[in-house]
């Protein structure tokens, strides 16, 4: 399909010189009657040739190089259409569809692979006429293209990159010798692997300028729409996680729940094979309980010993194992020839290993950190389900389950942040004291960078196991969005919709979220029906953080407001639940907000740990009880 570009260029150059010679002869004859100056005739000829060169070249290509002309003009039309389509596209799948269809029209049978960035790696979103499956399966990290200049639109020399030698060798063997980068905002977001010499319109100035324009535009649009898609995908993952939580409450059949977990994981993790193995009564063998994607004859009759294969090693070591390439793995037990990467996570409840969940992918290094974090949340849900089934013989109802969830409190406590992140010039501490076995309160601390932290506190309506499950679901929803630096009101808006769509009616949560920046000395917050946190300024003035909206989970699509305030050295902010202010003494008198403020003012020069202990001590002295009627939770931050 391609045209010999060197020959075409040579032919065009010869024709241009011949045109110049013809013009010179013509003007020499025409101007001979006007002047005898050869120099003047030559000058006019050159001038006219320069002015009319594009026109002359177009005529030459149109009539003498017609095949080349038709190919390049067709390429221009296709690229112009793509350019217009990109301007209208608003979703990631629209952009990729337009690009892939354009590649098919432009390149025909020319081998090519289009790689798109996903997390920290490039994956082949589209490829054609490439027979080497190992080449397509390569694990391409972003660092391989770190040396490529963002302004560079064609890379003809692979030695300018950090791509693995084996990849380069396989690419060249497949006649893929050139990289066409599609740059994003700060890095290369996608790239086309092809042989540029075989592209029919390469060398045509107009068509190739259009191609470069597409490279610049499409990379940015891909990145922007991918970010929106990723947010939607994370929300979808969270909803599925909430569905698993509801399933645990509504069913006590372990096989049903574990099958449901794998079905849900298939939708959010897109694995190629997965299995859940449980320890037998002896604690020495792993028995398959639920599986997907494996040959039934192979897996149903398999009995792994503890320590055998990746699953057995994970149970023995109690550690997660992620294998980027099973062909080089130490512990891998082969069940599928197509598998290239694997992730195995132990199922642990109350410090006891119950089994292991194992996922496999046909892609190299498929299980990145984000995906492993998600799988851990599903593993925690599976652990609770397995424990419930073992403890209550599958037939107990929800009321009996609530009485027996003694160990669930330990898991719940482990979900809360125990090691507070280090933020420059900011001291942070928090505490949660359940009134019963489990708590309906939660707090969370999310570090974004050395100067910025997100803090949250919430109180679930109700008590016992339902409130505790809702608390875990809200916490999972909040943490699923921690990779994105969003506004406070956006986070609360998304959590509200997730909770409304995924829980039963009556599950409402008062919620407060704030972003603190010690670098900018600002706090941005949204309050969704929670007790207004108290901001004590260094000079003793008080601000109550009330701006926001109603509780989350009550109505969908609520627009929440946020407010921005100064947060300077010496300032203290206290987040708390009503278990503190509504704590009653024997005379049924509440501890109240005024006593809490008085404590903060009198002890504001102390560190946050001392203030926390003073508050807890004074509340207990006031009530005269060690065990409170309601959960008590507080979170303190002080700008040092």
Question: What is the per-residue pLDDT across 544-554, written as a single tens digit (0 to 9) for each?
Answer: 999 999 999 88
For the chain, the 3-state helix, strand and coil shares in percent, each to the nearest 5, are 45, 20, 30
Q: Grade residue 479 by pLDDT with cuts at 50, 70 and 90.
A: confident
Tokens representing 624 are: 């005269």
The confidence score (pLDDT) of residue 551 equals 93
Contact between 633 and 457 under an 8 Å Cβ cutoff? The reply is: yes
The confidence score (pLDDT) of residue 57 equals 57
Contact between 439 and 471 under an 8 Å Cβ cutoff? The reply is: yes
Q: Phi/psi of residue 165, each to 5°?
A: -55, -40
Contacts of 478 (CB under 8 A, 6+ apart): 444, 446, 456, 491, 495, 513
Contact between 410 and 350 under an 8 Å Cβ cutoff? The reply is: yes
Residue in 452, 365, 321, 329 with CA at minimum distance from that of residue 143: 365
Instruction: Check whether 515 has a pLDDT greater than 90.
Output: yes
Domain 251-404, CATH homologous superfamily name and number: GAF domain (3.30.450.40)
Q: Grade residue 226 by pLDDT with cuts at 50, 70 and 90.
A: confident
pLDDT tens, position by position, 253-272: 778 888 888 888 888 888 99
Give the per-residue SS3 of 63-113.
HHCHHHHHHHHHHHHHHHHHHHHHHHCCCHHHHHHHHHHHHHHHHCCCCEE
Give the largest Cα separation in the chain, rounded: 124
Q: Grade residue 602 by pLDDT with cuts at 50, 70 and 90.
A: very high
Residue in 391, 311, 409 with CA at minimum distance from that of residue 357: 311
CATH class given for the domain over 70-228: alpha beta
Contact between 361 and 367 under an 8 Å Cβ cutoff? The reply is: yes
Average pLDDT, the chain: 81
The confidence score (pLDDT) of residue 51 equals 62
Scanning 340-459, the segments in alpha helix (DSSP H) are 369-392, 398-404, 408-415
Contact between 536 and 598 under an 8 Å Cβ cutoff? The reply is: no
Alpha carbon distance 198, 207 (integer Å): 15
Instruction: Tell me whether the CATH fold assigned to 251-404 matches the one assigned to 408-639.
Output: no
Q: Three-state SS for 194?
A: strand
The confidence score (pLDDT) of residue 619 equals 92
Alpha carbon distance 509, 461 (integer Å): 6
Alpha carbon distance 462, 80 (integer Å): 60
Alpha carbon distance 368, 374 (integer Å): 10
Annotation: CATH topology of 408-639: Phosphatase 2c; domain 1 (3.60.40)
Element (H, E) at 299: helix 296-299
Contact between 189 and 222 under an 8 Å Cβ cutoff? The reply is: yes
The full set of domain ranges for the chain reads: 5-64, 70-228, 251-404, 408-639
pLDDT tens, position by position, 442-453: 899 999 899 999
Alpha carbon distance 477, 473 (integer Å): 6
């Amino acid at each position: 399909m391609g045209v010999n570009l060197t020959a075409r260029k040579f032919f065009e150059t010869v024709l241009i010189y011949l045109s110049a010679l013809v013009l010179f002869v013509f003007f020499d004859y025409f101007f001979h009657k006007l002047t005898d100056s050869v120099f003047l005739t030559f000058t006019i000829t050159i001038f006219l040739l320069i002015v009319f060169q594009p026109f002359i070249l177009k005529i030459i290509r149109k009539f003498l190089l017609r095949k080349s002309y038709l190919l390049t003009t067709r390429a221009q039309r296709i690229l112009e259409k793509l350019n217009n389509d990109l301007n209208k596209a608003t979703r990631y799948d629209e952009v990729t569809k337009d690009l892939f269809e354009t590649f098919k029209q432009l390149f025909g049978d020319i081998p090519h692979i289009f790689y798109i960035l996903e997390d920290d790696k490039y994956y082949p979103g589209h490829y054609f006429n490439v027979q080497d499956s190992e080449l397509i399966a390569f694990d391409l990290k972003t660092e391989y293209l770190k040396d490529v200049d963002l302004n560079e639109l064609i890379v003809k020399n692979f030695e300018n990159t950090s791509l693995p030698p084996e990849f380069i060798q396989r690419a060249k063997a497949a006649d893929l010798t050139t990289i066409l980068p599609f740059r994003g905002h700060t890095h290369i977001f996608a790239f086309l692997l092809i042989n540029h010499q075989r592209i029919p319109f390469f060398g045509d100035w107009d068509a190739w300028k259009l191609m470069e324009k597409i490279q610049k535009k499409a990379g940015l649009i891909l990145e922007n729409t991918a970010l929106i898609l990723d947010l939607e995908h994370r929300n979808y993952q969270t909803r599925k996680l909430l569905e698993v939580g509801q399933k645990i409450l509504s069913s006590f059949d372990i096989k049903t729940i574990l099958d449901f977990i794998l079905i849900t994981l298939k939708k959010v993790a897109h694995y190629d094979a997965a299995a859940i193995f449980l320890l037998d009564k002896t604690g020495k063998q792993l028995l398959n309980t639920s599986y997907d994607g494996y040959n039934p004859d192979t897996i149903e009759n398999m009995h792994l010993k503890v320590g055998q294969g990746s699953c057995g090693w994970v149970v023995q070591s109690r550690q997660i194992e992620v294998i980027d390439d099973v062909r080089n793995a130490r512990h891998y037990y082969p069940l599928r020839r197509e598998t290239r990467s694997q992730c195995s996570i132990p199922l642990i409840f109350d410090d006891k290993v119950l089994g292991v969940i194992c996922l496999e992918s046909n892609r190299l290094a498929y299980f990145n950190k984000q995906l492993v974090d998600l799988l851990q949340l599903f593993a925690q849900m599976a652990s609770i389900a397995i424990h419930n089934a073992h403890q209550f013989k599958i037939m107990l109802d929800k009321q009996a389950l609530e009485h027996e969830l003694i160990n669930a409190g330990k898991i719940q406590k482990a979900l809360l942040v125990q090691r507070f992140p280090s933020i420059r010039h900011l001291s942070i501490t928090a505490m949660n004291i359940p009134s019963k076995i489990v708590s309906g309160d939660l707090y969370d601390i999310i570090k974004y960078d050395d100067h910025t932290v997100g803090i949250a506190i919430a109180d679930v309506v109700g008590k016992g196991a339902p409130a505790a499950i809702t608390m875990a679901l809200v916490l999972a929803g909040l943490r699923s969005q921690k990779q994105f630096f969003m506004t406070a009101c956006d986070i609360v808006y998304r959590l509200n919709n997730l909770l409304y769509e995924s829980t039963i009616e009556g599950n409402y949560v008062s919620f407060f979220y704030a972003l603190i920046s010690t670098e900018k000395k600002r706090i941005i917050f949204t309050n969704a029906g929670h007790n207004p946190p108290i901001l004590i300024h260094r000079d003793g003035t008080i601000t109550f953080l009330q701006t926001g909206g109603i509780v989350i989970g009550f109505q969908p699509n609520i627009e929440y407001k946020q407010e921005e305030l100064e947060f300077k050295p010496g300032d203290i902010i206290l987040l708390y639940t009503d278990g503190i202010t509504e704590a009653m003494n024997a005379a049924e008198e509440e501890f109240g907000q005024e006593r809490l403020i008085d404590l903060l003012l009198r002890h504001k020069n102390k560190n946050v740990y001392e203030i926390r202990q003073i508050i807890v001590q004074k509340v207990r002295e006031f009530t005269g009880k060690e065990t409170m009627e309601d959960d008590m939770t507080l979170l303190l931050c002080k700008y040092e």
